[in-house]
Amino acid sequence: MKIREMISQDLIAVARVNVDTFRETQSGIVPDQLINTLSYESAARRFQRLLDNEEQRSTIFVAEDCGAIVGYAMGGRAREPVAHYEGELYGIYILPQYHGTGVGRRLMSAMARYLTAQRIYSMFVVVFSANLPAIKFYEALGGKKCCDRTMALHGWNLKEAIYGWDSLNELCR
C-alpha cells in the first residue's frame, strides 16, 4: 500500500472511489434522490477544481494498492470558520473492502503532516450524524465532538456533527 499526493492522471479513479463509496456508505443516511444524482464526471470536475486552486492551500492524498486507487483524503485550510480550527479534512473516502485495514489511519497521518508543513496545527471534519462508522473512526483517532448543525441540501435537512483535533501531533505519527 502506497500513500502519495494525487496527480491529474488519478482524477477518474478518485472520482470513482468518491461516488462508489458515497453510494455504499451513505445509503440510508442521505436520501436516495440525492445519491442517484452523483456521477463520475461531476466528481472529476470537482476534484479538478480543487487541484487547480493553489490559493486554497489544499491537497488530496491517495491510497494505491497494486496500482489501483482504493481511497483518498482531501483537506487544507478551513473553508469556513469553525471554533478555533485552522484546517479542515474536506473528506476521506475508502473503498469498503479496505475499511479496517489501516488505510484511513495512514491517509489521516499524511494529511496531518501536510497541514503541519503548511503551519496549520488544528483540524476539523464535518460528518453526517447518522454515519456511526465514520464517527467511530474519527473518535478512535482522537477527534473530539465540537458541535452539531443541520445542513439544508436540495430541500432536505441533514444533521451533521463536527469533530476536531486541537493538535495534529498525534495524527502525524
- Note the pLDDT tens digit of each residue in 149-172: 999 887 889 999 999 999 999 999
One-letter amino acid at 45 equals: R
Percent of the chain with pLDDT over 70: 98
Domain 2-165 -> CATH class: alpha beta
Long-range pairs of 56-60 with CB within 8 A, sequence gap ≥ 24: 57/118, 57/120, 58/90, 59/5, 59/6, 59/111, 59/114, 60/5, 60/6, 60/14
Smallest Cα–Cα separation from 98: which of 172, 10, 25?
A: 25
106 near 168, Cβ under 8 Å?
Answer: no
* CA-atom Rg of the chain in angstroms: 15
Residue 117 has pLDDT above 90, yes or no: yes
| C-alpha of 78 from chain center | 13
Q: What's 8's DSSP letter?
A: G
Give the pLDDT of residue 125.
98
| Cα 40–Cα 42–Cα 48 angle in degrees, nearest 5 | 100
Which pTM does this prediction carry? 0.93
What is the mean pLDDT of the segment spanning 95-119?
Answer: 97
What is the mean pLDDT of the segment spanning 51-70?
Answer: 88
Instruction: Point out which residues pair with 45 in neighbouring strands.
Output: none
Give the pLDDT of residue 53.
75
The half-sphere exposure of 135 on its side-chain side, counting CA atoms within 13 A, is 14
Domain boundaries, the chain: 2-165
Smallest Cα–Cα separation from 148: which of 165, 129, 173?
A: 129
SS (H, E, C) 65-118: ECCEEEEEEEEEECCCCCCCCCEEEEEEEECHHHCCCCHHHHHHHHHHHHHHHC
Q: Mean pLDDT in the chain? A: 94
Give the pLDDT of residue 56.
66
CA distance 131 to 22: 11
Grid cell digits, residue 50: 480543487
Residue 57 has pLDDT above 80, yes or no: no
